[in-house]
Amino acid sequence: MSLSTTMPIFPGFKPGQSFTPPTRPVRSPMWNYIETAKWNNSRQQAINGRVSLIKYWINPLWTWEWTYGYLYDDPSGGAYGLGLNPFYPQPIPATDKGILQGFYNATGGGSLFAYQPPDSVQGGSMTPTSVVGVSDIFTIYGANTARQGQIATFSGLTGATFLNSQNLTILACSPLWIQVYFSHANYPQTADSGSVFCGQLLNVDGNLNAEITHPIGAYPTLPLSGTPPTYTLVNESVQLIDCSTLVVTAEGGSVPSYTLEAADTISPYQGLVINFASAPSNPITVSFNYYYACRFSEDTLEMSNFMTALYACSKFSFEQDRL
């Protein structure tokens, strides 16, 4: 399965997650927020103490546990001035408690649903407004949805023209800028225009297959060397995306011909695979919105009514399901 909209999407967001976009109607998950990566390994210890390890999985399975400090439940909309949810302005015939309770019971406590994590949006286009470079670290300002470790491809820049046609790794980013390393003299901040495409790097094998992945972290290669220092990027397979957001771009911004293969159908890959009709020019990058396929971890949902029109849910857990 690759199209996330064939599953209902969980109507909540983790503590600290941006409210826009995407908006989700259920408010107030609170700290502690627990996220657990689980692996399935067989460990055998010899008599001399040496451990032999057999790793059965090539990707982790995730579990999330949330706490809802309050769930608003006043159908009249008057208590405590909470009223209409400001993060979900379209009225629906249920309170926050009713939405969460309805969603849980619609799944029967166990049917599959899609969870959209905070870093769901991977890559995309940005329009630079200005560029500045200090000590070979270049900051490109402009709204973006880039992530560290992705590739930025520059074209049509009117000021920092030396970046045009460059494909550079994103070292740091925020919703308003990205930073890359490029060997060049210091460059004063200058207004600019053009386009930058940010995407996850695809590695194409001899059969013209490339698995879609997303980064879950990176660690430096020790001892530190190089400028910038070398590092190892850690990715996991993507098994569920919104196909309408998938954009594949080869060198120069061309869009190669490809087909999208379902997860766990092309060996040895566990995630979605892009198969190219012919060998595209490197680098090949991809942008997309990904999800996790999940189930609720427990068959019961307990809510505590601690004040008029306010409920609490001290443990709310769900877990990734391998497709």
What single DSSP character describes residue 49?
Answer: S
Distances (CA, A) of 151 to 130, 169, 203, 283: 19, 5, 12, 9
- Do residues 135 and 223 share a domain? yes
* pLDDT for the residue numbered 18: 59
Residues 105, 148: Cα–Cα separation, whole Å: 38
Give the tens place of pLDDT for each residue, 251-265: 767 788 999 999 989
Q: Regarding beta strands 292-296 and 113-115, do their DSSP bridges make them parallel or antiparallel, or are they unpaired?
A: antiparallel
Indicate the residue type of 269. Y
Q: Taking the CB of residue 158, how many other CB atoms lie within 10 A of it?
A: 12
Percent of the chain with pLDDT over 90: 53
Q: Name every residue whose Cβ is closer than 8 Å to that of residue 303 and which is 6 or more positions away in sequence.
A: 71, 97, 101, 311, 312, 313
Q: Do 273 and 140 have their domain in common?
A: yes
Any idea which of 101-110, 147-156, 267-276 has the lowest mean pLDDT?
Answer: 147-156
pLDDT of residue 83: 55
Distance, C-alpha 181 to centroid of its chain: 24
Residue 51 has pLDDT above 70, yes or no: yes
Distance CA 217, CA 226 (A): 20
In eight-state DSSP terms, residue 99 is H
Pick from 150-159, 164-173, 244-253, 283-292: least confident: 244-253
What phi-psi label fits residue 270: left (phi over 0), alpha (psi between -120 and 50 degrees) or beta? alpha
Residues 170 and 264 in one domain: yes
Closest to 210 measured CA to CA, from 261, 153, 169, 244: 261
* Mean of pLDDT values over 158-164: 93
Pairing mode, strands 195-202 and 151-155: antiparallel
Same domain, 135 and 84: no
User: What is the distance between the alpha carbons of residues 225 and 248, in angstroms, rounded to a whole number?
Assistant: 32
Question: What tens digit of pLDDT does each residue of 181-237 get?
Answer: 999 889 999 999 998 999 998 999 999 999 999 988 888 887 777 666 778 888 999
Residues 278 and 135 in one domain: yes
pTM across the whole model: 0.85
Backbone angles phi, psi at 104, to 5 degrees: -60, -45
pLDDT at 132 over 50: yes
Domain range enclosing 83:
4-116+294-320
- Both 189 and 238 in a single domain? yes
Give pLDDT, residue 80: 47
- Same domain assignment for residues 157 and 45: no
Percent helix / strand / coil, the chain, rounded to 5:
10, 45, 50
Q: For residue 2, what pLDDT is reported?
A: 52
Mean pLDDT of the chain: 86
Give the total number of structural domains in the chain.
2
Q: Kindly state whether residues 36 and 167 are assigned to the same domain.
A: no
Task: Please indicate, yes or no, whether residues 69 and 192 belong to a single structural domain of this protein.
Answer: no
Give the distance, in angstroms, between the CA of residue 171 and the centroid of all CA atoms in the same chain: 17
CA Rg value for the chain: 23
Phi-psi category of 136—alpha, beta or left, where left has phi over 0 and alpha has psi -120 to 50? Answer: left
CB of 98 closer than 8 Å to CB of 106: no
Verify that 244 and 307 share a domain, yes or no. no
| Residue written as token pair 């530190």 | 224
151 and 106 co-located in one domain: no
